[in-house]
Each structure stands twice: as C-alpha cells, then as structure tokens.
C-alpha cells in the first residue's frame, strides 16, 4: 500500500513541481515586474524605507490585529527555515554552483509575486467571529473572483490545512530531533544514534518538549504567535548571519572564486556526467528556481495568510514587506549559506556530501566542533519557528473550510502530531508534504492572474498619492 501511495505521489509531484509549474511561478513574477515597471529596482528606496526603515519603530496593534513587523516576522518564520541551509546545499549538489544564480533570478521576480499576494490578501481580508483579521488566497479568490469560485478557495484551504501537518510540522520537528541526536552523538554527549526503526527515547523527549513549547504559543492565537516571532526571528537571523559572516572572513581568500563559480556555471556545468550545454544549464536553472521558490514561498499563497492580520491602513504598504521578505530570505540568507559552502572547499562536485551534512561540514571547516553546534542550533531555531507559523496557516485554512467549527481539535491534533513526528521515519511524509505544498500554489496562481488588474490599479493609485 505504501509503495502505491509513493508511486502516485511521485507522479503528481513530477507535475506540480515540474518545469511547467516552475515556469508559471516565475512567469507570474515576470508579468508583475513588467506591469509594475520593475518596482523592485525602481522603487528600492521606497520599499526599503517602508520596511527596513521601520524595523526599529515600535507601536501597539489594534484589536484583532498584529503590527506590520509582527506579520512580517510570522511570515519570515515560515520562509526562513531549513531550506535556507539544507535546501541551498541540495541545490548546489544537484545543479552546481550556477544553481544559486537561478535562485537569485527566481527571488528577483518572486519579490513582485509576493507583493501582489500580500496586497490582495489585505484588500480582501475580513473579520472572523472572534474579531480577528483573516485573509489569504481563499479570501481573495472568493472576494475578488466571486462566490462561484468558492470551490477553488476550498481546494486551496484543504491542501493548506493538510500541508501544515507535513511541511510545517512533521518534517520540521523530525529535522530538529534528528539533528540534535546526531550532533550530540558526534560530540560524545550521547551514547549513539537510534537505528532505523528503533524507538529513540531521546527523540521522544525532544518531541514532548517541543509540543509543550509550541502548544503554549499556538493556543494563544495569532497575537501570541506574532509576539513570539517578533522576538525569535530577528534573533535567529542575526545570529546565523553574523556567524556566517565570520566564516566568510576566515575564508576570504576563497570568496572571490566562490562568487565567480556561481556566475561562470550558471549557463554551463563541468561535463562530469557527459551532459550537453543545454542539459546542464537546464539542470542548474531547474534546481536553482525550485529551491528558490521552496525557500521564499513566493506564489505558494502561505505568507499572505500571516500578513492579512497586520494593523495597517494600506494593502500596498504591507505588500512592501513582501518584497523585503523575499530579499532577506533568498538574496541575503540563502546567498550567505551558499558562499560559506562554496568557499569552504567541502563541495567537490558530483559525489560530495549533500544536504545537512554538507552544510555542517562547511561550518565545521572554519569553526571546528563548534560548527556542528552552530548549524544544529540554527536548524532547531529555524525549524521551530516554521512550526509556529504553519500552525497559523493550517488553522486559517481549516477555519475557512469549517466556519471555525472544530478549530480547537485541529490545534490539539497539530500539537500532538509534534510528538509523533519526532520519533518516526518520514521519507514518504516529506514527499507527500512537498506535493501538497505545490498543490496549494495552483489555485493561488490562478487568482494572481485573474486579479492582476486589481493589483496594478491599487498600486498606481497609491503611488500617485
């Protein structure tokens, strides 16, 4: 039975994350970039002033809302995750250093996709029965495209509610428990790593602790998630960036060649596998774009759910935070990780380490044993923040489907799932979660195309003023 499910999932995954889907995701960003006259470049002063320039201003949010910065950090908590470390390493191994160039390309156009998503989410948001602002693709599908498209909104919500258990819970928690167990074993602080299929009391304990911590935050609703994210996300981002910069300073003599390899191999790769130029270039593009989209989530429709709760007087103002979000996630954090890996010399081409081991080896090269601790702690913080944000996304999607009925049971199931996720093997769960994540994007992209006129009209009206 499991083999049949895996085969079906693999077939669906090949479509939803195939070249056509990735081209559509980037294509929407290209479309909005031209319609809004390359605003990510021409308006860089505006969106940097409206976002980075407001980082240190603090104010209280109104009833049923969070501050714009809390909305940003909640969304960033989901996007700045294990993909920024493990995903970047995977992209480099699969597509070569040139994949990072195409990751930048996807992020450049993704800035305008996320801007449009967030703008629409704020424009069509409404109050729920508890007086909270709610929004997201399901709301701008029904509010902008009409009630006749309620089925499309329901499809998005169904996939979103399910995906929260996979990509936003089980895979993240399992990464925390596994990385902690492995790191402590390597440092000699744990007797050994549990064998496949063997029950691990250590992982079970980690799962219980995470469930308690997450439950305390999740059960407090959007306000508590926003307040917690406001403190956690800046802290973990600054620590990770600062540590990575130290590594780059230590390896500064290799930084130039690392950057050069990104550009030189963006259009061709060493023909180790005997591939032709067109094939190898396509490979770099595919993995770079795929990992870029997976990391910053532009076009998936998840982040607009968090931004909808922002206490702001303009959808456009909050949309600017979407541009900054992609910039910080991919252009800054993913690039730093890539440069650390490429300048360390641990990546040797096909056959080298992959995923988390490659990232750990890169930091270990500069920091020694502390590199294991640094990467492990970063993975734990990044993954835990993702759990909190995706709990909100899942709740909002479930609430839309049921009208708010059974929301307490959904929260309880989400928290209990954390304990289970810490101790089981998740290969199939990872694959299914990845597919569900991609399926969320389909209804959202249709809405982004159908409502492009609204985005352009509101943007032009705002900037004329």
> Looking at residue 179, which CATH number applies to its domain?
1.20.1740
Of residues 84 and 112, the one with the higher pLDDT is: 112
Greatest Cα pair distance, the chain, in angstroms, is 65
Query: Does the residue 55 lie in any domain?
Result: no
10 Å Cβ neighbour count for 463?
12
Question: Mean pLDDT over residues 335-341, rounded?
Answer: 93
Q: Range with the lowest mean pLDDT among 108-112, 274-278, 436-440?
A: 274-278
Which of 429, 440, 456, 437 has its CA nearest to residue 5? 429
* pLDDT band at 154; cut points 50, 70, 90: very high
Contacts with 74 (C-beta within 8 Å, 6 or more apart), sequence order:
66, 222, 225, 226, 229, 306, 388, 389, 392
Query: Does the residue 59 lie in any domain?
Result: no
Query: Does the residue 3 lie in any domain?
Result: no
Highest mean pLDDT: which range of 37-46, 174-183, 346-355: 37-46
Q: Within 13 Å and on the Cβ side, how many CA atoms surround 224?
A: 11
Which of 458, 460, 465, 464 has its CA nearest to residue 119? 458
Tell me which H or E stretch contains 103.
Answer: helix 98-123
Query: Does the residue 11 lie in any domain?
Result: no
Tell me which H or E stretch contains 134.
Answer: strand 133-134
Q: What is the pLDDT of residue 147?
A: 87
Q: What is the pLDDT of residue 342?
A: 93
Residue 377, classed as helix, strand or coil, is helix
Q: Are 149 and 140 in contact (CB under 8 A)?
A: no
pLDDT in tens, 183-199: 888 887 777 666 665 67
Task: Quote the percentage of the chain above a pLDDT of 90.
Answer: 35
Query: Does the residue 2 lie in any domain?
Result: no
Whether the pLDDT of residue 14 is over 90: the answer is: no
As a whole number, the mean pLDDT across the chain is 84
* pLDDT band at 4; cut points 50, 70, 90: confident
Question: Mean pLDDT over residues 342-359, rounded?
Answer: 79
Query: Does the residue 194 lie in any domain?
Result: yes
Query: Does the residue 330 lie in any domain?
Result: yes
Whether the pLDDT of residue 209 is over 90: the answer is: yes
Q: Range with the lowest mean pLDDT among 163-177, 244-258, 312-326, 345-359?
A: 345-359
Domain encompassing residue 122? 17-49+68-464
Q: What is the pLDDT of residue 62?
A: 62
DSSP for 317-356 reads HHHHHHHHHHIIIIIIIIHHHHHHHHHHT---STTS--HH
Q: Range with the lowest mean pLDDT among 69-83, 242-256, 286-300?
A: 286-300
Query: Does the residue 5 lie in any domain?
Result: no
Question: Mean pLDDT over residues 421-444, rounded?
Answer: 78
Looking at the structure of the chain, the number of domains it has is 1
Question: Mean pLDDT over residues 87-94, rounded?
Answer: 80
Q: What is the pLDDT of residue 338?
A: 92
């Amino acid at each position: 039975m499991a083999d049949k499910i895996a085969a079906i999932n693999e077939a669906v995954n090949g479509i939803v994350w195939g070249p056509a889907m990735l081209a559509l995701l980037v294509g929407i960003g290209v479309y909005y970039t031209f319609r809004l006259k390359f605003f990510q470049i021409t308006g860089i002063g505006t969106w940097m002033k409206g976002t980075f320039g407001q980082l240190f201003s603090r104010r209280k949010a109104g009833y049923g809302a969070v501050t714009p910065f809390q909305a940003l950090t909640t969304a960033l908590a989901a996007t700045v995750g294990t993909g920024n470390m493990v995903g970047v390493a995977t992209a480099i191994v699969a597509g070569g250093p040139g994949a990072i160039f195409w990751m930048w390309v996807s992020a450049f156009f993704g800035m305008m996709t996320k801007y449009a998503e967030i703008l629409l989410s704020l424009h069509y948001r409404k109050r729920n029965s508890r007086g909270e602002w709610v929004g997201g693709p399901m709301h701008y599908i029904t509010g902008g495209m009409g009630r006749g498209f309620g089925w499309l909104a329901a499809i998005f919500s169904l996939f979103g509610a399910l995906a929260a258990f996979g990509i936003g819970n089980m895979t993240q928690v399992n990464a925390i428990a596994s990385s902690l167990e492995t790191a402590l074993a390597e440092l000699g602080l744990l007797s050994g790593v549990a064998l496949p299929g063997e029950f691990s009391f250590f992982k079970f304990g980690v799962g219980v602790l995470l469930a308690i911590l997450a439950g305390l935050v999740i059960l407090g609703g959007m306000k508590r998630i926003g307040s917690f994210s406001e403190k956690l996300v800046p802290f973990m981002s600054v620590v990770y960036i600062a540590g990575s910069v130290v590594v780059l300073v230590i390896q500064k003599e290799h930084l130039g060649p690392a950057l050069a390899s990104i550009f030189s191999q963006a259009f061709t790769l060493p023909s180790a596998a005997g591939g032709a130029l067109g094939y190898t270039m396509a490979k770099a593009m595919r993995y770079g774009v795929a990992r870029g989209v997976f990391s910053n989530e532009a076009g998936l429709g998840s982040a607009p759910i968090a931004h909808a709760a922002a206490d702001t007087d303009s959808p456009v103002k909050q949309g600017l935070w979407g541009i900054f979000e992609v910039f910080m996630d991919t252009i800054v954090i993913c690039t730093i990780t890539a440069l650390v890996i490429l300048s360390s010399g641990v990546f040797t081409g096909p056959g080298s380490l992959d995923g988390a081991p490659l990232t750990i080896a890169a930091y270990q090269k500069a920091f020694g044993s502390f590199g294991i601790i640094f990467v492990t702690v970063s993975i734990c913080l990044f993954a835990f923040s993702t759990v909190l944000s995706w709990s909100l996304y899942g709740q909002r999607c479930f609430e839309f489907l049921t009208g708010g009925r059974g929301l307490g049971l959904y929260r309880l199931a989400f928290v209990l799932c954390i304990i289970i996720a810490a101790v089981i093997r998740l290969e199939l769960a990872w694959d299914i979660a990845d597919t569900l994540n991609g399926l969320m994007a389909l209804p959202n992209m249709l809405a982004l195309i159908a409502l492009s006129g609204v985005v352009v009209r509101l943007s032009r009206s705002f900037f004329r003023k």
